[in-house]
Structure 1
Amino acid sequence: MPVDRTRFLRVSGTQIVDGNGTPLLIRGIGLAGWLLMENWITGFPGHEEGQETSVRHVLGPDLTRVFYDRFIEHFFTAADAEFLASIGINVVRLPFHYKFFESDDAPFQIKPEGFRHLDRLIEQCARHGIYTMLDLHAVPGYQNQDWHSDNPTHVAHFWRHPHFQDRVVNLWRALAEHYRDEPYVLGYNPLNEPADPTAERVGPYYRRLVEAIREVDPDHIIFLDGNRYAMDFHFFGEPTPNVVYAPHDYPPPGFMPGARYPGTFQLMHVTAPRRAATPPSRSRRTTGTRRPSRRASWSAPSTCARPARPSWSASSTPSSTATTS
């Protein structure tokens, strides 16, 4: 049965809109700690790979497999989707690890069972009118130097080795083909917080990724993080259709230990009106370009719709600025 493509959300001017052209005010959360476990969320030191190694050392391989299978199965249920809808959430950003879809021992071979957990969450959320954004949080070779890409080496090998880059292109082509007809997928966030030390490879690689996705899925929105942990957008210039910027702005209240909101941080009183009037420079770079942008990573309800226009060059002129909220 043909899919009604008008049901997909899309970018229109400065807004994300539905099939009728009605702007969508996003109230989102990040479902972190599930398909990629982070120490400060799940409650363990180090990174996911090290934690799994420690558990395997204590429990052995069989019980470790049972433990993680149960953890993944029960972390998010239909009751959770119902609760999120009851408090007004309409978008879930889902971070996930590449290992669910591909093994380092068998590169380029997509594991069909990897779709099972994503399919379940998307279906449960869709029943309550909640959209899902797919966020590839950890890639082969690590796209950044920190724990949240499950990186034990503190070196972003991904940017040095075309083999890793090729595997991610292959993975996103498979993901886009699988979800191309799913209207309750808000869109694709193909790399979380990339950090290329040279700042020369992110733009060209994004062009390659977007082209690969568009070969199989012309409709879903693509959300692009800037370089240096989604803070540097200088290489974006001319627009690409149906693409949204994703700056990551971490306000100290809510993230820093002991920081209160509203409250004072570094001798500055922090309130919502003040933050709206004085956005960080990294966020200002994503505005004034007649494309939406999304603030991330979500950990509490938030809103978005702001423009962005990628050009894929490594050294293009920064776009003009405007006020963000």
Structure 2
Amino acid sequence: MQNSNYIKRENDQIVSGRDLPEFRRGMGLGGWLLPEGYMWEFEGEVNSPLRMEKLVANILGVDSEEFWQKYLDRFITERDIETIARAGFDHVRLPLNSRTIMSQGHLSAEGARRIDTLIDWCKSSGLTVVLDLHGAPGGQTGANIDDSPNRAPELFTDASNFEAGVRLWGELAERYVDEPWVAAYDILNEPLPDTEDNRALIPELNRFHREAAHAIRGVDPWHLLSFEGWHWSTKFEGLELDIDENSVLHFHKYWSTPDTSSIQPYLSLRRNTGLPLWMGESGENTNEWYGKAFALFESHSIPWTFWTWKKLARTNSPATITKPQHWDLLEAAAQNPTLAIDREKASAALWQFVDNLPLERCTINPDVLESLPGIHS
């Protein structure tokens, strides 16, 4: 069953719905609802939202709640979305942290408000939105990128987390079933890094895919479903690929040669399954590499999404947040949380950081944008 108003699969391609932009070139909004340590120039132990929140709380105390409110209000605003659209992108991928958007095991009013607001901004600018479960309940990777509390993929080993993840998708689908500007539901970001223990969990990953799809289709017959490979979204061996007819196979590409042989396994998957491909995350490299890699995706008719829009200090994303004075104290504390630092200076650095978040106070890097095919500064 399909509806011409929605982005959907048509044979081995993704086609646009009526009055919607093509789904070809997108931007990831990493670092907003799920900040990662490296985006703050943090290395070492403090590299996931839970640990970053603890560090901020140790420095700011009761004022940490105000800090995070300002962070969420300023990191992505309507101006960011308008700028992304003007540059030539047609969609954004919104990484969701279940802990940020859920309360007592259900989609929270505040979480829904944040998503709704972003969708409204995107509709006004002509962008569609992919909802990406980047941090599932309990974590789907056990790495810092999913905010897993115990550094283990407990989505698959704890029944309550598994059920909460399935329930979340059902609630998101129920809320957005009538919203064609939501391009797709990206079921799980980069599940299960390749370890012996994690390979044993692939049947549970398949079960989660099936049950999440069932929960979605119970209320929403229309939206495209995105199924990512395991091991940082690079492997599809052992995955069930026929779970839903209106679906796309989603891979990521980082730090590998940008030539056809490097993506041949995915091209073969498309040929053998008849399902479309989406390269949903790539970046964190040089402009020269971007030019070759993203042109490669286009040459094979693969839609792509850049990672990521905005980071502190680094210039290999389109927007750079200015590093505050004394930020080195935060970097040192992230490396060694027991280190004694000047709390007054560290506090001032944190408040300056949130003041620097709005796009008008960031530096736009036109060379990054212009390295991407079809995109301009």
Q: State the TM bucket, normalised to the shorter chain.
A: 0.7 to 0.9
Alignment of 1:6-155 (within 5 A): 6-19=4-17, 24-45=22-43, 46-61=47-62, 63-103=63-103, 106=104, 108-155=105-152
In structure 1, the gaps of 5 or more residues are 253-269, 308-325
Instruction: State the AA in 2 paired with 1:296.
Output: G
Alignment CA distance shift 1:20-1:145 (3 Å): same
Deviations 1:253-304 (CA, angstroms, capped at 9, x unpaired):
xxxxxxxxxxxxxxxxx5x5xx1x2134653453212211111224479567
User: Which amino acid counterpart does residue 203 of structure 1 have in structure 2?
Assistant: N
Judged with a 3 Å threshold, the aligned counterparts in structure 2 of structure 1 residues 21 and 114 are, in CA distance, closer, same or farther, namely: closer
Post-superposition offset of 1:43: 2.8
Post-superposition Cα deviations, 1:146-167, rounded to whole Å, max 9, x if no partner, equal 1101135332122112211100
Aligned to 2:281: 297
Residue 252 of structure 2: aligned partner? 248
The 8 Å contact of residues 94 and 132 in structure 2, kept in 1 or not, is answered as yes
| Distance (Å, rounded) in 1 between the aligned partners of 2:85 and 2:69 | 26
Give the AA of the match of 1:112: A
Q: One-letter code of the match for 1:6?
A: S
Q: CA deviation at 1:229?
A: 2.3
Counterpart position of 1:231: 234
Give distance in 2, aligned partners of 1:283 and 1:5: 27
Amino acid at match of 2:84: L
Residue type at the aligned position of 2:269: T
In structure 2, do the counterparts of structure 1 residues 152 and 162 end up closer, same or farther at CA, with 3 Å as the change threshold? closer
Superposition pairs of residues 173-322 of structure 1, within 5 angstroms? 173-195=170-192, 196-198=198-200, 199-234=202-237, 235-238=239-242, 240-252=244-256, 270=257, 275=259, 277-280=260-263, 282-284=265-267, 286-288=269-271, 289-299=273-283
Instruction: Report the 3-state secondary structure (helix = DSSP H, G, I; strand = E; otherwise coil) of the residue aligned with 1:29.
Output: strand
SS at 1:83's partner residue? helix
Q: Which amino acid aligns with 1:142?
A: G
Distance 2:252 2:155 in 1: 21
Q: What's the CA shift string for 1:184-214, capped at 9, x where partnerless?
A: 1101112111114312221122111101101
Query: How far does residue 27 in structure 1 lie from its aligned partner after superposition?
Result: 0.6
CA contact (8 A) 2:6 2:222 kept: yes
Residue 74 of structure 1 deviates from its aligned partner by: 1.0
Q: Which runs of 5+ in 2 are unaligned?
A: 193-197, 284-289, 304-377
The 1:306/1:208 distance shift into structure 2, 3 A limit, reads farther
| Aligned equivalents of 2:165, 2:268: Cα separation in 1 | 27
In the alignment, the residues of structure 1 paired with residue 90 and residue 216 of structure 2 have an alpha-carbon distance, to the nearest angstrom, of 24
Greater helix share, structure number:
2
The 1:59/1:187 distance shift into structure 2, 3 A limit, reads same
CA drift of 1:11 comes to 0.6
Quote the residue 1:162 is aligned against. Answer: 159
User: Is the CA contact (8 Å cut-off) linking 2:155 and 2:165 kept in structure 1?
Assistant: no
Are 2:91 and 2:129, in contact at CA under 8 Å, matched by a contact in 1?
A: yes
Q: What is the rounded CA distance, in whole Å, between the counterparts of 2:33 and 2:23 in structure 1?
A: 26
Aligned residues: 279
Q: What is the distance in 2 between the residues matched to 1:238 and 1:58?
A: 49
Relative to the length of structure 1, the TM-score reads 0.79
| Greater displacement, 10-19 / 148-157 | 148-157
- Identity over aligned pairs, percent: 29
Structure 1 or 2: more strand by fraction = 2
Measured in 2, the distance between the counterparts of 1:14 and 1:57 equals 51
User: Is residue 131–residue 185 contact of structure 2 (8 Å, CA) maintained in 1?
Assistant: yes
CA-to-aligned-CA distance 1:6-53 (integer Å, 9 cap, x gap): 321111012111235999351111110000001122333321111100
